[in-house]
Structure 1
Amino acid sequence: MKNMQKSIQKAFLLANAMGVLATQGIFASQIASGIALADNERERESSSRTIPTKSWQVDSSKSSNSKNIDSNATKSKQQNKNIAKLALVESTQDFDSPTTQATQTTKRYDKPQKDASQTITERDLGRIVAYGSPDVKSSSTAKYQSNAGVISKSMIQTHPSGNGDIGSILRLLPNVQFDNAQNRSTAQGEIDPANISISGGLYYQNNFQIDGLNINNDLDPHGEVNNNINTLRGGQNQGFAIDTSLLEGIVVQDSNISAAYGRFSGGVIEATVRKPRRNAGEINGWRANISYQFTSSDLTEYHLDKSSEEYFYASASEAYQPNFHKHIIRASTEGYITDKVGLVASFNTTQSFIPLKSYPQTTAANTAYIGTEVGGTRQQKRQSYNFYAKMNYDITENLTLEAYLGYMPQTNTYFTNNAKDSFYQMDSGGIQSGLKASLQTPIGFWLNSLGYTRIENSRRSDKNYYISWYGSSIHNWAYTNVTTGNSGRAIEGGYGDLDTLQDTLSLKSDFTFNSLSWGIFDNVFRIGTEINYQKVQRNRLEDVYFTSGLPLNTNTNTCYKDQFGIGQDFCSSGDTFTTGTTQANANWSGQYFNALQVYQAGKTSLDSVSYGIFAEDDMKLDLNFERVKIGELNARIGVRLDGDDYMSKHTIAPRFSLGYITPIAKSYQTTLTFGANRYYGRNLFSYRLYDNEQNLRKNYTRTSSNQPFVESNTTNNSTYKFNKLKVPYDDELMGAISQNLNYAQIAFKYIYRQGRDEIMRRSRTNSNGLPSLEGYSNNYTIWTNDGSSQSHIFSLSVKNIKPISTYGVAHNYLFAFDYTRTSRTYNLLSADEAYYNDTLIKYNGEIINYRDRPVENWARPFTLRLDTTHAFKIAKTKWVWNNFFRFRAGYDRMVILTRTDPRYDSSFLGSQYGKMRFPNAFSWDMRLGFELDMYNGQTLYMNVDIFNVLNSKIKSTIANTAYAGSTSSGAFASSSAVAVYEVGRQFWLQLGYKF
């Protein structure tokens, strides 16, 4: 009854919220019909609005006139000198440059202008013309130097795209760290988006947004490495793998982030799907674009450790992928249905096929697989689809509606490399839909949005049983031929179907008031609220049968037939083979299992209501007087309140930013910035969903093969314990300076982050102080808030803010340097009591505390980047040449010292670790792009992407063993671990047609 009351209360709360939105929509329509048409949309920073390509400037010297408003309101407006007249600010940049800011010139228009983000300008360079488009940017984030950088549409088009995911293109920007194993040579068939860390934060604590809607996967983004009966392979931290070809731009914020953004402790990544372009001034002109891109193992150079080469080329596991073929098909169309209604529709698919051996021919020095199916092949697949449509309706020039619908599933097909009938697929991605209304009112800009997303991480298996037989005349497909231990095992089946789903309904309202001016003081006040309803469920769709223990001898008894109706007796009459030794040291005429675990079909679900409220005041003090010019002082003070009923916690996050701009021409201005902020992250739903998994398990036993299984009375204790947690948070201090030098800009930034109440995974033992609990196993896992972290980040960037032209070629350059030092008091991926106890260890010959050990991933000490883009046009052809050079500093990885290691000190009783050195890494990536004007604006284009042009051998991470190939993420790897290298030279070919 209490649960029902709680659900009714939540539904009532949500209904009220929907009513508010409907009321706001009616009120907005009434206002829009009664005010004069403004020039265009007003740019402003927003956590849920399209990345702006224009900005509005407030001119308080004149009053705006309005029509169709009652006479009292008109009279009041005429008397108010502070009512703003809007002036459109349009960029004068000719060619898109990789910058976070652009030089701008103010212009006023009496009639609506074309969207600057869609206007392609051209510059006369003699016989050669360079094309470009204005950079996407946000004035507030630029003013307070919140950006790590901005990736514009033309940057996406001119850089090597790889799999086309958001994470991969962000490697251009400073203060973005990647998983060491992300580009490993041994697994080039994968298509999952790259995991990234921003400002030292956890990769699953970023805030990813598409068109203002959060797409964060809070189910279990770090998950498990392998398939298991109770756990799934880890999902993506981005709920959707959207293709970057669909985007207008990407903005990454790493510091001084507005109070409009919440529920993150890393960074904010905002992706905006493009709006339709008008065709050379026509109303109903439509455009289309179709392309095909390809790479394969034949176009790839591999770098391998000598000890792993044999296992790599004979691989039956996705950890080693010696062969793959990857195809990307993109198709889109855009245009205007009427003069006010535009549409973009797109379809993209990435298909990767990975042929592997059916079974391992060699698994270790003393084992090998033999059998009738050994030597065959089985194929794994990675398949991603993007169906996306976005419509915008300019009802008036004050009121715009946007609607979008995306279906973005991904299916990864695997098999268990030592088992028959073991194919399973992992389904991720899902649905995104939304409706957004933007309204310019007489007192400010109002944005409302309503969105729904569904994200899943689910499994579909060939079989719902898992059996480990001895090799026999019947079970002879593949079994281990061992020289020691028990006889060879022939495994079949899988772990059944399991769904985890995250449904989110969100409502946001955001209002930015017009600037109020009192002499030299300008003030812009902004308020907003959001409410989210989330329903999360974990659903085992069918009973799953898992054999326990070793097979037993049937002793010529018959088999009891198919007790559970699944076509499986858990008994076999085939003669067992005498490879190695069996428990009986002889052939058996049959085998059976006397113990069985049945994981029953069932569902665990929870629903959660969360909210966010923010207010901030952006103030400007103009100290540039007629006789004395001192400069411009800016301050943004904000606060954000968040809460939810999942953990029943409410948080207050203050945000403060301060900036000073020198009183000289903008092309030579200096900007100083300071910030002190707090960011609260999120708690994952997996903490709760795992708790009662064992409650759905039943145990069965029998005493003979010809007898049925009987349910036993054993108690199934849960291995996970859920408890209410605090919300992890980061406190930030930052300071930055930016200097314009006419065509160039130099920027330096320092960020200090201190993480508190971070989530640590612990496992109970008899000696670590965690209590023994009824209903839970003796070694249950629990999550606590005992973790902490600390990060220092220095970044320096130099870039031209206008293209540099030489002999008709337009050049753009970006140089970036970042230095990162991060420490963390917990293991990201597993329980590690040594962190909690902070015991003394010996590392590289010195005794240190365990918590002082180095961070092994997402923590390259420093990185140098140089990006160059050169564009020119000759006759009917356009050429682009992009180069991306990256130097990453070497680092030391901690590994366990074995007793046979010469560095091992037998006199020290604690754990001992040594260093494995990862040298400096230099790489050069390139794109050569070519376009040919075919006829009447139709274009044939081709891109050749070359990754690692010099075929450098870059050591990136380690594998536990040469034959397994799975990468290690911490001190669990021994000093005998095998080096894993990044991919060598790799070619991607793309051919497309625009019409």
Structure 2
Amino acid sequence: MKSLLALLAASIVVAAPIALSQTTGSKEVASNQSEATVPDHDKLIVASEYQACNPDDIGCDDDIEHIEIIGRNITPISTSAEGVYTLDKQMLKAYLFGNGNLNDVLGILPGVQFSESAYAADQVTNIKPSEVSISGAQGYQSGYQIDGVSNNSRLSTGNGQGDKNLAQDVSGHSQEAFVNVNILEQLEVYDSNIPAKYGQFSGGLVLAKTQNAGNKTRFGFSYRQTADQFVEYHKFYAPDFDGDKVFDTATFNKKDFNAYLLMPLNDNSGVVAQIQILKSEETLNQLGELRVQKQTNYNALLKYHYSLTDEDELTLRYLNAPYKGEYFDVGAINSDYDVNGGGQSFLAQWQADRQWGYMDTQLDWRQSTNSKDTTSARYVWLNAPGKAWGNYDGATSSLEGGYGDIDKVQNSYSFKQDFTLPNIWQRIGEHELSFGYQLEHQKTIFDRLESSVVYNGAVISPKINCNGYLDDCIETSFIRPIEDIEEELGRALDLSNSTDFLIYQNNLQTTGQYFQSRQVSPKSVAEANISYLSMYLEDDISFENMQLSLGVRYDFNDFFKNHNIAPRLRLSYEFIDSHQIILGANRYYQSDLANYKLNQAMQPVHNEVRSIVNNRPQQWQAALLTSGYKYDYQDTKTPYSDELTTAYRQPILGGTVELKWINRANKSAINRIKGYNDQGEAILYAGNNGASDYQRWSLSWMAQYQNQHIEFNVSRASNKVSRKSFDGDTTIEDPEDNQLTDTLNYSYDDRELVFLRTDESTATGDLRTRYELVTRHDINLEQQDANRPIVANLSWAANWQSWRLSAYARFNGKQDAIYPTSELSSIKEATTICNGCAPNKREYPVYRLSERPAFWLLSGSVRYNWTLSDDSSITLSFDGENLLNKRTYQVSPFNTGLELGRRFWLGISYDH
């Protein structure tokens, strides 16, 4: 009997390995100690002690056997061949820094990189999660699921992280809903060896699981706040800064309110309800005027689960997370724009456990939106009297207006079934077969609600007569009539005389200037309907010390019409006291097809010009050279990633150490090839010549103890990509031009062009500055988020009675980085754009390539729990980031800007 009890206790610990002590009755006299047979790597010791008691004692009916079981807690590192890290609810709470979304927690794991803008000064007020890169992929290329439902937004490719006000799109996020970790029970993060069950991504995979009601009613609420008084900034000034005004910091406050209810209805069912409201308001200086910018995110969950039988579980879940931002450009007047986004989803799930195996059936609907409301015209005036507000920031141009209203909506419908058949064959090892399929339809709409016009290339013309054009032309005017001044002087003004010229300049009220070219995005609607079919089959084979998984996944969509077959192979071999070697070879196919199909359906932008006759602007007409183009995706392959991985694991110091190597060869990435169709229209044909290569070495050690856990990892990653293999050259060389820039290539939409500034040393040791015109798409490729040579993380959390403490340190090695600047630079425009057009220049934003030095940050939290008499508690919390006030080098060298220093949140919560 004693042995049976010991084995039973051992099985309980293996299923849920936590340190425990239990007492159980026994009518047999047992020996003083016994040991159950369990895996060595669980470090399990089962000790039982027989103790007789006096039958007359209260509660003593018989002899009592005390069984004490001590086991090693599971660490986030997987014990299987899958490259997965599991964070439980306690760990999620321990690292609730910042806005409390799941992306903030991912950074403690190896191989996870934050986006370039994650440490920018405006992130302290931003309520959107920072984009993260897993295994070298950009944020939108990784997969996100909540309770098995995809949370990927196909409306965005992660744009808007550096520049929220986009000309041809709406700034969005790779995730539909910004999920708060308070609603999560568990988070699984895959960086390699991902099972065949999961697909439609070429990066990592994040699986979030929401909590159930449990067997006891619980409810509570919490409030957290940060503000500008809780933040320190580092201010940096360029060498040419005149010092006339002090660099301003934002006046802001951010509030986070949470409430939850976990309520069992009976022994078989329960309800979960949760809501979070995150608000941010900040005061920014818009060209000398202080204005308030607002952001709001709601996060609501309603979940019902019901056990139909002991083997059948029904779950209904609704998630709604809308987002709104009220923004403006700090360097442009009349530039207000409102962005509405977020998503909602509904899930119906039936899980059935049968003698033959396990079945999971899911039906879900998802909707995400992304819209922008703003003015329909954007002007890039030259900084001259009458249009001189750009002087405030020392700019050469004065910006005005917006880029027009856009609505984007995505609706997705999905049905899938997953089956698991355990122990179907035991002749050669034990086999567990899993298979399933998924049907999905996705409808995406891009609606430009009004025609949008961008005016660029202004021309100074003191004698211009605007001829009734009031919006895009300004005439010269004076404070006093010139005739009155000349009458006082008794002579005509001679502008070649410096004194007379100064009199003339000081009398100017406005200087005449006009636009002779513009780009028009016509009012239009584009729609993309894509259907998907996915199937998979995987066999998990267990031998004595080896586990082998052989899987294959099939994906098909009716846009590219490619039959994609992705093998998934992984092997785990255990030897010498729980040492493990893991091997893997896998293929992952990317899925962001809606964006491609929308591009193909959109109406191209077109250029318009006007000539000047007798100092009067004429009517707008189509340009001889146009930058408008269409997309064509015929015979396009689906981009994919081939992965090879090797890992070694062993238990040490009560935890697990892991050494891992991952190689991702990203192939058939879509690039754009310029050409023309039979009608002479400019076409960007989709090719599959883009490629990149990612490699990472990482060393990790993670351990869980009775009241604390500790994790350490260090990674060295590289990501090689050639951007010119994607978009090619945006300029045409001019051998007669001595300038550092060349003539614009009109095959590109100039609203997606920016300058990349590089400083090069010449053979004589001089510093040579070069401005290269590139596309924003290429900038994104150039600043891959996985190009940091070394990243290290050390995290720790512990509970002692009423105190809960956690700390997290992160080191980022030096790297080449691309910095946005407030500068504009120009490129000359050809004189052949129209008859009677004057030569002029176009202005484009400047990005700067520089080396970013290494830096490290320390964050931490302190929570004190005060238990009340009615089974409830009050918790006071302090959450701090960059506690040592270190630099993050977000401001490029020789530039003026702000960097975030020390910052913290204060909070209070009530739980019952």
Post-superposition offset of 1:710: 6.5
Q: Is residue 2:601 matched to residue 1:723?
A: no
Post-superposition offset of 1:87: 9.5
Native 8 Å contact 1:495 1:544 kept in 2: yes
Native 8 Å contact 1:353 1:381 kept in 2: yes
Post-superposition offset of 1:865: 2.2
| Residues 568-587 of structure 1: pairs in structure 2 closer than 5 A | 575=477
**1:539-577 deviation digits (Å, cap 9, x = unpaired):** 0123445557658889889858xxxxxxx8767899467
Give me the whole-angstrom Cα distance separating, in 2, the residues matched to 1:582 and 1:256: 74
**1:296-318 deviation digits (Å, cap 9, x = unpaired):** 222112224332997999799xx
Post-superposition offset of 1:812: 1.9
Native 8 Å contact 1:219 1:684 kept in 2: no
Name the residue aligned to 1:881.
805
Give me the whole-angstrom Cα distance separating, in 1, the residues matched to 2:94 and 2:536: 38
Name the residue aligned to 1:507.
415
Post-superposition offset of 1:427: 2.0
1:346 to 271, 274, 279: 274
**1:339-384 deviation digits (Å, cap 9, x = unpaired):** 322111111122111211121xxxxxxxxxxxxxxx3211222221
Native 8 Å contact 2:850 2:892 kept in 1: no
Which of the two has greater strand per residue?
Answer: 2
* One-letter identity of the residue aligned with 1:986: R
Name the residue aligned to 1:18.
none
Name the residue aligned to 2:598.
689
Q: Is residue 2:894 matched to residue 1:986?
A: no
Post-superposition offset of 1:482: 11
Give me the whole-angstrom Cα distance separating, in 2, the residues matched to 1:542 and 1:391: 43
**1:903-950 deviation digits (Å, cap 9, x = unpaired):** xxxxxxxxxx99954333232211111111123221100111121222
Native 8 Å contact 1:195 1:237 kept in 2: yes
1:518 partner SS: coil
**1:411-454 deviation digits (Å, cap 9, x = unpaired):** 22221334433210222211111111101122110011111111
Give me the whole-angstrom Cα distance separating, in 1, the residues matched to 2:503 and 2:533: 63
| Residues 77-226 of structure 1: pairs in structure 2 closer than 5 A | 90-94=15-19, 103=42, 142-147=79-84, 149-185=85-121, 187-223=123-159, 225-226=162-163
Higher mean displacement: 463-472 or 287-296: 463-472
* One-letter identity of the residue aligned with 2:571: L
Counterparts in 2 of 1:355 and 1:521: CA distance versus 1, 3 Å:
same
1:337 partner SS: strand
1:404 partner SS: strand
Native 8 Å contact 2:414 2:439 kept in 1: yes
| Residues 426-437 of structure 1: pairs in structure 2 closer than 5 A | 426-437=339-350
Higher mean displacement: 684-693 or 731-740: 684-693
Counterparts in 2 of 1:233 and 1:536: CA distance versus 1, 3 Å:
closer
Name the residue aligned to 1:283.
none
Give me the whole-angstrom Cα distance separating, in 1, the residues matched to 2:583 and 2:376: 58
* One-letter identity of the residue aligned with 2:106: L
Counterparts in 2 of 1:311 and 1:845: CA distance versus 1, 3 Å:
closer
Name the residue aligned to 1:784.
687
Give me the whole-angstrom Cα distance separating, in 2, the residues matched to 1:313 and 1:133: 63
Counterparts in 2 of 1:943 and 1:145: CA distance versus 1, 3 Å:
same
Name the residue aligned to 2:261.
333
Counterparts in 2 of 1:791 and 1:217: CA distance versus 1, 3 Å:
same
Give me the whole-angstrom Cα distance separating, in 2, the residues matched to 1:895 and 1:337: 55
Post-superposition offset of 1:682: 2.1
Structure showing greater Rg = 2
| Residues 227-266 of structure 1: pairs in structure 2 closer than 5 A | 230-266=167-203
1:820 to 717, 740, 755: 717
Post-superposition offset of 1:600: 3.9
Name the residue aligned to 1:278.
215
Name the residue aligned to 1:612.
534
| Residues 706-785 of structure 1: pairs in structure 2 closer than 5 A | 712=621, 718-724=628-634, 725-741=636-652, 743-761=654-672, 764=674, 774=679, 776-777=681-682, 783-785=686-688
Give me the whole-angstrom Cα distance separating, in 2, the residues matched to 1:671 and 1:469: 65
Name the residue aligned to 1:303.
234
Structure 1 unaligned blocks of 5 or more: 1-58, 60-85, 96-100, 108-131, 280-285, 360-374, 561-567, 623-631, 765-769, 804-809, 835-840, 897-912, 966-979
Native 8 Å contact 1:889 1:920 kept in 2: yes
Post-superposition offset of 1:220: 3.0
**1:10-47 deviation digits (Å, cap 9, x = unpaired):** xxxxxxxxxxxxxxxxxxxxxxxxxxxxxxxxxxxxxx
1:800 to 700, 703, 706: 703
2:168 partner SS: coil
Give me the whole-angstrom Cα distance separating, in 2, the residues matched to 1:437 and 1:380: 44
Native 8 Å contact 1:483 1:580 kept in 2: no
* One-letter identity of the residue aligned with 2:111: N
2:15 partner SS: strand
Name the residue aligned to 1:807.
none
Counterparts in 2 of 1:443 and 1:827: CA distance versus 1, 3 Å:
farther
2:531 partner SS: strand
Name the residue aligned to 1:423.
336
Post-superposition offset of 1:755: 1.6
Name the residue aligned to 2:794.
866
| Residues 388-787 of structure 1: pairs in structure 2 closer than 5 A | 388-461=301-374, 463-466=375-378, 478=389, 480=391, 492-518=400-426, 521-544=429-452, 550=458, 559=468, 575=477, 599-622=521-544, 632-662=545-575, 668-691=577-600, 693-695=602-604, 712=621, 718-724=628-634, 725-741=636-652, 743-761=654-672, 764=674, 774=679, 776-777=681-682, 783-787=686-690
Give me the whole-angstrom Cα distance separating, in 1, the residues matched to 2:586 and 2:255: 44
Give me the whole-angstrom Cα distance separating, in 2, the residues matched to 1:398 and 1:159: 36
Q: CA RMSD in A?
A: 4.5
Counterparts in 2 of 1:312 and 1:232: CA distance versus 1, 3 Å:
farther
Native 8 Å contact 2:723 2:782 kept in 1: no
Native 8 Å contact 2:345 2:367 kept in 1: yes
Post-superposition offset of 1:796: 1.9
Give me the whole-angstrom Cα distance separating, in 2, the residues matched to 1:558 and 1:741: 82
Post-superposition offset of 1:257: 0.9
Higher mean displacement: 516-525 or 322-331: 516-525
Native 8 Å contact 1:844 1:915 kept in 2: no
Name the residue aligned to 1:118.
none
Normalising by structure 1, what TM-score?
A: 0.69
**1:96-145 deviation digits (Å, cap 9, x = unpaired):** xxxxx9949899xxxxxxxxxxxxxxxxxxxxxxxx9986989xx63114
Give me the whole-angstrom Cα distance separating, in 1, the residues matched to 2:787 and 2:348: 39
Give me the whole-angstrom Cα distance separating, in 2, the residues matched to 1:648 and 1:934: 62
Give me the whole-angstrom Cα distance separating, in 2, the residues matched to 1:690 and 1:239: 20
Give me the whole-angstrom Cα distance separating, in 1, the residues matched to 2:613 and 2:301: 58
Give me the whole-angstrom Cα distance separating, in 2, the residues matched to 1:831 and 1:517: 55
**1:375-416 deviation digits (Å, cap 9, x = unpaired):** 321122222111211111111121111111111112222213
Post-superposition offset of 1:827: 6.8
Give me the whole-angstrom Cα distance separating, in 2, the residues matched to 1:914 and 1:594: 30
Native 8 Å contact 1:539 1:603 kept in 2: yes
Q: How many residues align?
A: 768
**1:716-751 deviation digits (Å, cap 9, x = unpaired):** 663353324311112112122221247322222222
Post-superposition offset of 1:617: 0.5
2:788 partner SS: coil
Give me the whole-angstrom Cα distance separating, in 2, the residues matched to 1:302 and 1:193: 21
* One-letter identity of the residue aligned with 1:879: W
Post-superposition offset of 1:959: 4.1
Native 8 Å contact 2:342 2:369 kept in 1: yes
Higher mean displacement: 258-267 or 818-827: 818-827
* One-letter identity of the residue aligned with 2:909: G
| Residues 13-32 of structure 1: pairs in structure 2 closer than 5 A | none
Structure 2 unaligned blocks of 5 or more: 1-6, 21-39, 47-70, 481-500, 732-757, 764-773, 821-846
Name the residue aligned to 1:44.
none
Post-superposition offset of 1:259: 0.4
Native 8 Å contact 2:159 2:173 kept in 1: no
